[in-house]
Amino acid sequence: MGLSSAVLRPGLRASSLPVVDVSAEALRRVPKVLLHDHLDGGLRPATVVDLAAESGYSGLPSDDPVELGDWFVRTCSSGSLEDYLATFTHTFGVMQSVSALRRVASECAQDLAADGVVYAEVRFAPELHVAQGLALDEVVEAVLAGFREGRRLAAESGHQIRVGVLLTAMRHAARSLEIADLVVRYRDDGVVGFDIAGAEAGFPPTRHLDAFEYLRRENAHFTIHAGEAFGLPSIWEALQWCGADRLGHGVRIVDDIEVAPGGTARLGRLAAYVRDTRVPLELCPSSNLQTGAAASIAEHPFGLLARLRFRVTVNTDNRLMSATSMSRELSLLSEAFGYGPADWRWFAVNAMKSAFIPFDERLALIEEVIKPGYAALVD
């Protein structure tokens, strides 16, 4: 590992303020920002059952919502990213119509808003929803309509949320340029960026350079799934060859950090670059446990990366597969690392700074929504 000259002695916590004992309800109500959430990984189990019955999809392992939810979590916890990804056959299997896509997107916005999420970027792969004849444009428009409906219904329930859409191309397929074109065409209608996803090993991001070059020419934003199951080469390619604005997961950047027994940390050149240039890390703790990137929350690299002041953000990845929410992710991290409201605010501000919407809109959410939402707990 090529070591940089930067050496940091991390403290115990992301902030020096004392931990405040906050109820689960208070944690749910504080404003949260979510950058990494998959639409087809966040369905309500009962919705999967309903949509399967409506569409004639017969592949579900159970038609009981409770049993089905348990099956998703259990199957996704094998320690294999490939096994984890295979469960999505059932979710996108029931998301092949305009009505199904609208319902799932609407419920997604409502569920996130009810959990205190004030801004979310939700991603999905349009190419996975055309098996029954929908055109890519129809898929995108159905999801955008669903999010508009979900925002309206959430507001009627007293919860405000803004949702931006990320369009994902599958890294093993060859439609990334088509999907990138959709990003540009729908960027004034709620699409805020681009992503590639799928198994990392054997499918490097450089296979999609034409899409990334097109997006840069069009001044569009993109994140890349990198550094989850694969290691530092995946991160290096995503940043230095493809020009990613953010890293989807990026947890394996810890492989370029050495920590001495006394707690002194030394960053390799890639890790130093990621920290120095404030590359946002879309960290997903519970998901990483399921795919084998960490053995427990307490051993998750999040704690080290936060102490070293990387731009860490907290994310759900797939709420169905992990039976999780933003509140749950924050609660798990707080139990493991002693975080309190000042840290939660820092994570939310980190994410809001890193969102793919204009600067003035990000700043307004930080100053008018996020900071006031934490004022009573922090100040």
Residue 203 has a pLDDT of: 76
Average pLDDT over residues 233-239: 95
Active-site option among 107, 121, 228, 282: 228
The average confidence (pLDDT) of the chain is: 92
- Here the CATH number for the domain that contains residue 188 is 3.20.20.140
CB contact set of 84 (below 8 Å; sequence gap of 6+) = 75, 76, 78, 287, 290, 291, 321
Contact 331, 286 (CB under 8 A): no
Residue 230 has a pLDDT of: 74
Torsion sign over Cα 219, 275, 38, 341: negative
Average pLDDT over residues 139-160: 98
Q: Which tens digit of pLDDT belongs to each residue from 13-71?
A: 444 334 445 678 889 999 999 999 999 999 999 999 999 999 999 999 999 999 999 99
Q: Which tens digit of pLDDT belongs to each residue from 163-205?
A: 999 999 998 888 999 999 999 999 999 999 999 988 766 778 8
Domains of the chain: total: 1
Per the annotation, the verdict on 228 as an active-site residue is: yes
- Domain ranges, residue 47: 3-378
Average pLDDT over residues 248-269: 94
pTM of the model: 0.93
The torsion angles phi and psi of 102, rounded to 5 degrees, stand at: -65, -45
